[in-house]
Amino acid sequence: MSRILVTGRIPDAAVERLRAEHDVDAWTGAESIGRDQLLRRAAGSDAVVSLLTDRIDRELLDAAGPRLKVVANVAVGYDNIDVAACSERGVVATNTPGVLTEATADIAFALILMATRRLGEGERLIRSGDAWKWGMSFLLGTGLQGKTLGVVGMGGIGRATARRARAFGMDVVYQSRSAVDPGVAAELDARRVELDELLEIADVVSLHCPYSPATHHLIGARQLAAMKPSAVLVNTARGPIVDEDALATALDERVIASAGLDVYEHEPRVHPALLRLQNVVLLPHLGSATVETRTAMATLAADNVLAVLRGDQPPTPITR
């Protein structure tokens, strides 16, 4: 029997799947596991099921010790994991791609609608108790039909967001490390462009690339200035892809019209200037937050662990 550390609350179905075969230490504290507890409890583990808020670095791998065989992140993003350090030690790292694609694209599109139709402002107005009255020019937003969505990072979530955009009558351009399958490009009528062109022509820019040193502050003051003054920026990927200082200034000075954010540069802290602005929609990292999706993510992470502990290839290893 191997020993598995689960670093936070995950759906019972996944914990039971692990418990059926192994000895499981599952953190169930109301607060997330602190660094000290994480390091202490990882000691002697054969597997760690990690959350995106856990930093899996050399210190953690050292603390876990030589028995560690697998780190299974319950997230598609794995910028919290030092994958190179894992492979140096022969530790397999896995993530959960695929199962959260549709849920995250739903949130990206919700943010697009909220930002363009000023839904956050409307909600805040009603809740404020202030007087309001229907009027021809009251809280006017902008429509999506005939507008262009620019997808930055055309992986599964980018493509699923593009599909939603097509259903809303939008055109799609994208920037990505590699071109999408010609069948998908044809289905979405999506043209691959460089980031500079995308920023210039898109009415909505939606970020779906992974976070890495190469995408740190990919969107900063220069990129925001290149966007249309009427444009919207949406980020459901990772906060530090956007220079939040520059974004707050651009929104305040109407360099761009609005933004919708599900992730933050210094999560869970939100830039104080953003909190004061009306033209930004702020969600608390809800991309994959549905019962179905979180269950599927945790179950996939459990399957990754069980496969590695059996000596098999895991379903979704991280390949760099």
**Active site positions, annotated:** 238, 267, 285
Cβ at position 289, least distance to ligand GLV in Å: 9
Cβ at position 100, least distance to ligand GLV in Å: 5
Cβ at position 231, least distance to ligand GLV in Å: 24
Selected from 76, 173, 188, 233, the binder of ligand GLV by CB under 6 A is 76
Please, which residue, 76 or 173, has the CB nearer to ligand GLV?
76
- What is the rounded distance in angstroms from the CA atom of residue 267 to the CA atom of residue 41? 24
Selected from 51, 72, 77, 259, the binder of ligand GLV by CB under 6 A is 77
Residues 10-69 that bind ligand GLV (CB under 6 A): 52
Residues 89-108 that bind ligand GLV (CB under 6 A): 100
- What is the rounded distance in angstroms from the CA atom of residue 50 to the CA atom of residue 55? 9
Cβ at position 52, least distance to ligand GLV in Å: 6
- What is the rounded distance in angstroms from the CA atom of residue 126 to the CA atom of residue 149? 30
Please, which residue, 95 or 148, has the CB nearer to ligand GLV?
95
Residue 258's φ and ψ, nearest 5 degrees, are -165, 175
Is 158 near ligand GLV (CB under 6 A)? no
Is 287 near ligand GLV (CB under 6 A)? yes
Give the chain's length: 320
How many Å separate Cα 113 from the centre of its chain? 18
Cβ at position 219, least distance to ligand GLV in Å: 18
Q: Which stretch binds ligand GLV (CB under 6 A): 11-19, 71-79, 127-135, 173-181?
A: 71-79
Q: What amino acid occupies position 314?
A: P
Cβ at position 22, least distance to ligand GLV in Å: 24
Selected from 24, 33, 38, 75, the binder of ligand GLV by CB under 6 A is 75
Selected from 45, 175, 235, 288, the binder of ligand GLV by CB under 6 A is 288
Contacts of 256 (CB under 8 A, 6+ apart): 224, 227, 228, 229, 230, 231, 232, 233, 250
Is 241 near ligand GLV (CB under 6 A)? no
Q: Which stretch binds ligand GLV (CB under 6 A): 59-67, 72-80, 134-142, 157-165?
A: 72-80
Q: Map tokens 């990129």 to a residue.
A: 223
Please, which residue, 52 or 202, has the CB nearer to ligand GLV?
52
Please, which residue, 287 or 314, has the CB nearer to ligand GLV?
287
Q: If binding means CB under 6 A, how many residues of this protein chain bind ligand GLV? A: 7
- What is the rounded distance in angstroms from the CA atom of residue 196 to the CA atom of residue 199? 5
**Which residues contact ligand GLV (rule: CB under 6 A)?**
52, 75-77, 100, 287-288
